[in-house]
Structure 1
């Protein structure tokens, strides 16, 4: 969760939505009617916060980390697909699912396991 540390004035979690390992959707940053779909501008990916919806998946999905999950739970992928459909409906077009590293190569997020799963889902793309 973003906190006001060192005067940065962060006021909330940066993601609009979180998905836990059971596929439950958790509301994150909300509330600014000037934002997309009535959402506040996110703080999830530098340079893309005002034109994307941030979705965080709870857990570790990097194969190089001994804390990593063995795979991405099906419930997580199903919820991600439903959320993508909801966002697409509001946008009036199919929106791509992009990992943080696809937009800003300074991170390994969302981890190899999630990135591989996203590539297999319809709607994966490289434009935001």
Structure 2
């Protein structure tokens, strides 16, 4: 992560979190298996990914651009999600769920809806440099 970002050690949910102001990067390397959830990255993202539980539980939410991408041996789902959290904040998340050797690796960037462009830009930077190792 670039200078100025606060890094937190891996937590009990297997997440690495980095933040700068109200934008947060969440990386989850290989925590969930396709065998226990879904072999479809899109289904995993929509129905099983714990990081999107607040999205699924929200009374107001949207999902856009959900798609499966296959490039060589790299297979992943990506999409954008918005919801209003329990404090009334409208959040925007850009998310990718990569399936590598039967395990899901997650790259999420979360921020206020009003900073959507910054969230998108940061996600593109983080996702392009993330290396999923089995």
> Looking at both structures, which has the greater relative contact order when contacts are Cα pairs under 8 Å and sequence separation is at least 6?
2
From the two aligned structures, give the one with the greater strand fraction: 2
TM norm structure 2 = 0.27
TM norm structure 1 = 0.28
